[in-house]
Amino acid sequence: MNNTLILILVVGTALAFDFTNGFHDTANSVAPTIATGALKPRTAVAFSAALNIVGAFLSLKVAATIASSIVDQTSVTLAIVFAGLAGAIAWNITTWFFGLPSSSSHALIGGVVGAMFASVGSAGVLWHGIAAKVFVPGIIAPLVALLVAGLATIVSRVATSRVDDGARTIGMRVGQIGASGLQSIAHGTNDAQKTMGVITLALVANGTLAADAAVPTWVIWTCAIAMALGTFIGGWRIIRTMGHGLTHIDPTQGFAAQMSSSVVLLTSSHLGLPLSTTYVATGSVVGTGIATRGRKVHWNVAGRVVAAWLITLPAAGLVGAAMFGVESLFSGSVGEVVVAILLVGYASAIFLRSRRQVVDHTNVNEPWKSELDEPVATAVAA
Amino acid sequence: MTTPSTVTTATPLIDWHVLCQVLLASVSIGVALVTLFSLGVASLSVSRSTDGTTLTRSAGQFGVLVASILVTVVIAWGFYIITQKG
């Protein structure tokens, strides 16, 4: 009974993480599309959500591992996975509240590493793997994207310099929709599969599935739908930061940024150096702002985003470790229930707090210098 | 417990070869794709121009066709990569 309850909690929490992954990372694929008016806000998130589902079914090469090469796989238990998921969800909700685009994958890694550290100590954490798979790609991703998007913006402006503004705007908006679709499919394939992997791992650990069993169809469907729901609800605060907070984006910049992000992500993945979607998308937007004459990049906002990146791993790790500590205080599955209650309480408190200063599809495209200006500072001060 | 860390330390922290490949491929493919699409937009504009000659309009239509085919090929490559990874 205890094992079944823990399994239910792990599956439910994994789907909750998948949901937060959807609404947190929507901005990566739709923020420029919305900012330039290529698609209306609701249409953009619905389009992205539908393609998330398509992506989730495109490839099913799920590895039943979590944080592979980051933690000692033989020491991973359901309690660690559960605490790690709780840490990742808490960090995703926190960064969403502050409108900061941070990596959901790194949050999950941080949560699991923290829980592992609390469980078996430093021996269970593969520090070299963290450096090679988290820190190094974290530095490389935005810089490569910034360079590609910057060059692409300049070349695109030169190539269309004789085209009248109306035709160029329409053409670039069409290109943006295509690039946004490609990113949404890739997101569905990559990130929904991570949750499928977590749930499959839990089912195998519980003895519900054989180690070599295929991923059950219900797991694929629930993961795809949870992510799509999150995407459809839209992380408007982050979309606003990505679309307006970093720099002003016109359709040429939007297309250059989104196509550059797609190419960098697909190329790096193909060559065996997968990069964070969030870091690449953010780097592309900043790159296109730098490459546009007279365009101002809001470096104070960019600085806060980078600060969030730097503390994602330790912050999610601390919560993951704390949650594992709470689990350990109780016998049986009581600890997991307490953690679940704490998580729901925290999520509810953050949601209620966010209602004081609502950012949604109706005001996501308000000019950055408005009453919604600097949502982070306003939220903190209020 | 020593086995995992012993195994992973054999892997270099930064694989400079792959990093250079990613950089070169991303810059060349990314810039080429955006350029192609932009030229396609410019060609479309020329093909619809009312003050151009028949020759320039035909050249514009040809440009749109070539750009569309190449962009489609690259997007198909993207789908291929998406379905191969994971």
- Reported confidence tier of residue A74, pLDDT bands at 50, 70, 90: confident
Interchain pair A152, B30: CB under 8 A: yes
Report the pLDDT value the prediction gives residue B61, as an integer from 0 to 100: 81
What gap in Å lies between CA A245 and CA A289, rounded to an integer? 11
What gap in Å lies between CA A360 and CA A157, rounded to an integer? 32
Q: B23 CB near a chain A CB, below 8 Å?
A: yes
Report the pLDDT value the prediction gives residue A33, as an integer from 0 to 100: 96
- Reported confidence tier of residue B4, pLDDT bands at 50, 70, 90: very low
Average pLDDT over chain A reads 89
Of A171, A193, A255, nearest to B44 by CB-CB distance is A171
What's the pLDDT tens digit per position in A274-319?
Answer: 888 999 999 999 999 999 988 789 999 999 999 999 999 999 999 9
- Reported confidence tier of residue A84, pLDDT bands at 50, 70, 90: very high
Interchain pair B84, A59: CB under 8 A: yes
Interface test mutation site (partner B, options A58, A266, A277, A284, max chain B beta carbons within 10 A):
A266
Choice among A84-88, A145-149, A160-164 with the minimum mean pLDDT: A160-164
- Reported confidence tier of residue A165, pLDDT bands at 50, 70, 90: confident
Q: B33 CB near a chain A CB, below 8 Å?
A: yes
Q: Is B68 exposed, middle or buried (0-12, 13-18, 19+ CB in 10 A)?
A: middle
Q: Which two tokens stand for residue B16?
A: 């400079």
The answer on pLDDT for A371 being more than 70 is no
Average pLDDT on A372-377 reads 50
Average pLDDT on B49-76 reads 80
What's the pLDDT tens digit per position in B8-52?
Answer: 445 677 888 888 999 999 999 999 999 999 998 988 888 877 776
For residues A267 and A376, which has the higher predicted lDDT (pLDDT)? A267
Q: Give contacts of A162 with chain B, Cβ < 8 Å.
A: 42, 45
What gap in Å lies between CA B67 and CA B56, rounded to an integer? 16
Listed by number, the residues of chain B in 56-85 with a beta carbon closer than 8 Å to a beta carbon of chain A are 75, 77-79, 81-85
Which residue ranges make up each domain of chain B?
A: 16-84
Q: Give contacts of B77 with chain A, Cβ < 8 Å.
A: 266
Q: Which residue of B has its CA nearest to A185?
A: B82
Which residue ranges make up each domain of chain A?
A: 2-381
Interchain pair A266, B35: CB under 8 A: no
Interchain pair B39, A147: CB under 8 A: no
End-to-end CA distance of chain A: 46
A233: which residues sit within 8 A by CB, 6+ positions away?
A22, A23, A45
Interchain pair A193, B86: CB under 8 A: yes
The answer on pLDDT for A112 being more than 50 is yes
Q: B1 CB near a chain A CB, below 8 Å?
A: yes
Interchain pair A136, B13: CB under 8 A: yes
Choice among A345-354, B4-13, B55-64 with the minimum mean pLDDT: B4-13
What gap in Å lies between CA A45 and CA A368, rounded to an integer? 21
- Residue whose token pair is 């009312």: B50
For residues A251 and A368, which has the higher predicted lDDT (pLDDT)? A251
What's the pLDDT tens digit per position in A184-237?
Answer: 988 888 888 889 988 988 888 888 888 778 889 999 999 999 999 999 998 999
Report the pLDDT value the prediction gives residue A377, as an integer from 0 to 100: 46
Helical pair B16-47 and A165-205, crossing angle rounded to 10 deg: 140
- Residue whose token pair is 């499928």: A196
